[in-house]
Amino acid sequence: MAHGFLKTYAKDSALVYSAGIETHGLNPGAVSIMSEAGIDISSHTSNHVDEYNGINWDFIITVCDHANENCPFIAAPNAKRLHHNFSDPSKVTGSTAEVHAAFLKTREEIRDYIATFVNDFLT
What does pLDDT average to over the chain? 92
Tens of pLDDT, residue by residue over 44-86, are 998 988 898 888 899 999 898 877 777 656 778 889 999 999 9
- What does each C-alpha distance from 112 to 5, 11, 87, 95 come to in angstroms? 9, 16, 14, 26
pLDDT digits (tens, 9 = 90+) for 5-14: 999 999 999 9
Other C-beta atoms within 10 Å of 120: how many? 9
Q: Which domains does the chain have, with CATH numbers?
A: 2-116 (3.40.50.2300)
Q: What percent of the chain has pLDDT over 70?
A: 98
pTM: 0.92
Nearest to 18 by CA among 57, 47, 39, 58: 47
